[in-house]
Amino acid sequence: MLLNRKQSGKRWHLRPDGAPKVTGQLQYLTDMTLPDMIHGRVLRSEYPYARILSIDTSEAEALEGVYAVLTSKDVLGLNRFGIATPDQPVFCEDIVRYVGDAIAAVAADSPERAALALDAIRVVYEELTPLNSTDAALAPDAPELHKHGPGNVLHRTEIKRGDAEQAFATCDHIVTETYFTPRQMHAYMETEGGLFVPDEEGRLNVYAATQHGYKDRMQLARIIGCPEEDIRVVSSPIGGSFGGKDELNVQPYGALLALRCGRPVKMHNSRKESVRAGLKRHPMKIEMQTGMSREGIIQAHRVRITADTGAYATLGAPVLNFCTEHCLGPYAIPNVDVEGVSVYTNNGLSGEFRGFGGNQAIFAMEGQMDRLAEIMNMDPWEFRRRNMREKNDPGPLNQRILVTDGLSQVWEALDRSELWQKHQSPPADPALPPWIKRGVGAAIAMHGAGLGYGIPDPAGGRLSLNNEGKIEVAFSYEEFGQGLIATLEIMLCDLFQCSTSDLSIIIGDTDRVPHSGSSTASRSTTMAWMALQRLQTPFRSHVLTVASALSGVPADELVTGPGGVWRKGQLPAETSEVESESGFVVSYAELATQGEADEWIFDTKFDYPTTPDNVVGGHYLYTYAAVAAEVEVNTLTGETKLLDTRHVVAAGPVINPMGYIGQIEGGSVMALGFTLTEDAVMQDSRYVTTNLDTYLIPTIQDIHTNLEVEAIEDLPEGDAFGPRGIGEIGSVALAPAITAAIHQATGIWVNRLPVPREQLVRPLNVPLQEGVSPS
């Protein structure tokens, strides 16, 4: 179904957080203030790599209006954090490893005074030569950035199947190419920050953005050295994240300063500090060699992935796992030889980012497919079909995966599309000047959801009738813009035929929600759906039993509806006139007064579905996508303009059409930036692009206004997992579609992102001159 407002009809659901957002009334956590609050700031490293010889804070401490100056010796518990591998120091003790490394933090009565205090801290360094590339870090004589070695390798991955070496020897054609992808920045509009408030009961209240409040709480408790229950983390609403706020950022400093000072501390990173300290997408070098038979059947695939993970582990290892899994694409390849390595350097901090390593892998793999198809002189889409995995084939890691038709469905839908049809007969517009070239390209992807085999991936939730008579759900997910609250409203109204005013939705507060996992890996919608499937029957049954006891109407003649319980078959058509209708039996408010409050609370706990096979990181549920793109290349300036795009996505039922379109459109434009303009450039391990005036994300003038989203909603009958995540799938396959289109337009194979404009510039057709070599 072509997804738009018209097609969506009544399912076009207005977001409950809409009015507060468009009026500016919504208080983000960085907007919060308290009368007696003070301001926190962090002193970060002057060098990407250096030894700290001494830190003198006495001058800063003596300044008027300065309440605290903290260094590593003031950390009460563990001086480290990191979701998977806690190796990032809260405050560096002896070595700094990147320009965002924290050395000290101050709290003062104004932001200006806090800045003065930072200036007054004297740090003496011994500057060291930074490892500014993975090559430098892997050199045999390179210093080890971390003690756990060997060398500067964070993580290695491997997939070996068949005998690739022997298979290559028998291949008729082999394509060898090396692909490079940029250090992309999340560029969420709200930079990191929040308010940290110690209360009279000795608890610490943390109001700061994260994608996983419970994980923050656990890490903060470890840093502070206190029980987790002594901390409350309130973590929504969030002004964008895209993976960038999943790791702790300002929280350790705000928390420690607030506890030391015994007063509320406000933190809010400037954009420049956010760029310097924050996560980026892993830049990767992916070498690929792919061989096929005379008939165009891929026989062998060799891949070497090198990921620059920067100074600390963060989620570098799982990102590499994901990239490794996805660099085989949705293809059946008998002989496979893949090795990946994630390397510590002094180049900032790489971590999780929408797509989670899939974007890099799919760009490379789909690039290979286009190059192979050209050798075959074959339609690249047909070439893909010929090599695609069959429905019942195992997943990329040879693991069992849930069988759906998604892959062939997205392939067929794109094949039929008008946009892809243009590829067959490239549009020749005589009105265009000769230096403007047009082309169409396409790419396909399967993208895993969930954290993958071997990583704890708990889910759950709570459904209750609260004492105000509202149907209340509580999840530990977060709203960072994706529209989760609207999606939950839709699901609940569908399940109970109630109205939105009957609902209370609680997320983003560890004091009020059960531990039900994180909002990451395109999985919140699936997990919430699965939780509600488990909770709805016991909840409804209790509601109807009590309603029956109150009214004398048999429970099996009752249903839930707007405002309360109704006689079956007598639900009002519209939800406005509730209790005046004759079929109304009892209100939720009245029901809630019956029995003990606990009787109205239903909990569930389960794990996100994983493959039964023992392959670390292997996924079970996949979302499928095909993307076509038409571009216009100006060969005088090297500028590429995306004209038209179609995304076909197979992710099961569309619960929230507005949210779905928004996620695919947003992901697509983020991928456009990844492809054409975005790169956090570093020179000698220092950022050159320090703000949004030089780090260029797409503006409204840069986008493809002809973006169409087609949703394929089919799932096998009786599918137990419901809607699949779509948070990432819009962002993973556009880059190779664009570069394929550029190739059709210009004949140039691009292997580096963002697309180097100079590579697309062609000299004017001037006659050859002696001594001048045409490029």
- Where does this chain bind other proteins (CB under 8 A)? 5, 14-15, 17-28, 31, 33, 186-191, 237-240, 242, 268, 270-271, 480-483, 658-659, 661-662, 665-670, 691-693, 697-701, 703, 705, 707
Q: How far is the CB of 101 from other proteins (least distance, A)?
A: 23
Amino acid, single-letter form, for residue 516: S
Q: Which is nearer to other proteins, 211 or 289 (CB)?
A: 211
Beta carbon nearer to other proteins, 380 or 730: 730
- Is 579:587 a contact under the CB 8 Å cutoff? yes
Q: Which is nearer to other proteins, 402 or 486 (CB)?
A: 486
Q: How many whole angstroms separate alpha carbon 342 and alpha carbon 360?
A: 14
Sign of the C-alpha dihedral computed for residues 6, 12, 14 and 15 taken in this order: negative
Minimal distance, residue 691 CB to other proteins, in Å: 5
Q: How far is the CB of 236 from other proteins (least distance, A)?
A: 10
Dihedral sign computed on CA atoms, order 351, 353, 358, 364? negative
- CA dihedral 197→198→199→202, nearest 10 degrees, is 160
- Residues 6 or more apart in contact with residue 278 via CB below 8 angstroms: 100, 185, 186, 192, 244, 249, 269, 349
Minimum distance of other proteins from residue 699's CB (angstroms): 5
Strands 279-281 and 204-208 come out as unpaired
Query: Nearest approach, Cβ of 704 to other proteins (angstroms)?
Result: 9
Q: Supply the minimum distance, in Å, between the C-beta of residue 666 and other proteins.
A: 4
700 vs 766 by CB, closer to other proteins: 700
- Is 81 in contact with 72 (CB distance < 8 Å)? no
Asked, as a colleague might, if the bond just before 150 is cis with ω within 30 of 0, I would say yes
How far, in Å, CA of 214 to CA of 476, rounded? Answer: 8
Nearer to other proteins, 313 or 488 (CB): 488
Q: Least Å distance between CB 26 and other proteins? A: 6
* Run of H or E residues at 234: strand 231-234
* Distance in Å, CB of 730 to other proteins, minimum: 8
Burial readout 330-365 (b: 16 or more C-beta within 10 A, e: otherwise) = bbebebbbbbbbbbbbbbbbbbbbbbbbbbbbbbbb
Quote the CA–CA distance of 58 and 26 in Å, as a whole number.
Answer: 41
Residue found by looking up tokens 């989620």 in the block: 315
Q: Using the minimum distance from each CB to other proteins, give the nearer residue, 279 or 463.
A: 279
> Which of 585, 661 has the CB closer to other proteins?
661
CB of 261 to other proteins, least distance (A): 20
CB 648 to other proteins: min, Å: 16
| Nearer residue to other proteins within complex by CB, 188 or 608 | 188
**In this complex, which beta carbon is closest to other proteins, that of residue 467 or of residue 691?**
691
Quick one: 226 or 651, whose CB is closer to other proteins?
Answer: 651
Nearer to other proteins (CB atom), residue 31 or residue 412 = 31
Of 576 and 705, nearer to other proteins (C-beta) is 705
The C-alpha angle 254, 256, 257, rounded to 5 degrees, equals 65
Beta strands in 450-512, from DSSP E residues, in sequence order: 458-465, 471-474, 503-506
CA distance 703 to 673: 9
- Shortest Å distance, C-beta 688 to other proteins: 15
List b or e across 394-405, with b for residues whose CB sees 16 or more CB atoms inside 10 angstroms: ebbbebebbebe
380-387 and 358-376 are packed helices; what angle lies between their axes, rounded to 10 degrees?
Answer: 110
| Contact residues for 244 (Cβ-Cβ < 8 A; gap 6+) | 186, 188, 278, 279, 351, 352, 353
Distance of CA 639 to the CA centre of its chain: 28
In the complex with other proteins, the residue whose CB is nearer, 270 or 421, is 270
Longest CA–CA separation in the chain, Å: 102
706-712, strands of its sheet edge to edge:
436-449, 621-634, 639-650, 706-712
Choice between 57 and 731, CB closer to other proteins: 731
Instruction: Report the nearest approach of other proteins to the CB of residue 665 (Å).
Output: 4
Determine which helix (DSSP H) or strand (DSSP E) holds 650, and give its type and residue range: strand 639-650
Q: How far is the CB of 44 from other proteins (least distance, A)?
A: 17
Residues pairing with 137 in the sheet: none
Nearer to other proteins, 80 or 271 (CB): 271
Q: How far is the CB of 721 from other proteins (least distance, A)?
A: 25
Separation of alpha carbons 652 and 393, rounded Å: 20
Shortest distance (Å) from residue 270 CB to other proteins: 6
By three-state DSSP, how is residue 354 classified?
coil
Taking each helix axis from N to C end, the angle separating 734-746 and 358-376, rounded to the nearest 10 degrees, works out to 30
Closest by alpha carbon to 298, among 391, 389, 434?
389
Closest CA to 403 of 620, 240, 205, 579: 620
Residue 465: phi, psi to the nearest 5? -105, 115
Cα separation, 531 vs 488, in Å, equals: 11
Which of 52, 81, 42, 101 is CA-nearest to residue 686? 101
End-to-end Cα separation, the chain, in angstroms: 47
At its nearest, how many Å lie between other proteins and the CB of residue 211?
Answer: 13
Minimum CB–partner distance for residue 348 and other proteins (Å): 19
Q: Which of 168, 480 has the CB closer to other proteins?
A: 480
| Residue closer to other proteins, measured from CB, 27 or 421 | 27
Determine the Cα–Cα distance for residues 151 and 405; give it in Å rounded to an integer: 44
Cβ 386 to other proteins shortest distance, Å:
33
Q: Which is nearer to other proteins, 16 or 638 (CB)?
A: 16
E-state strands within 282-403 = 284-292, 298-310, 335-344, 349-351
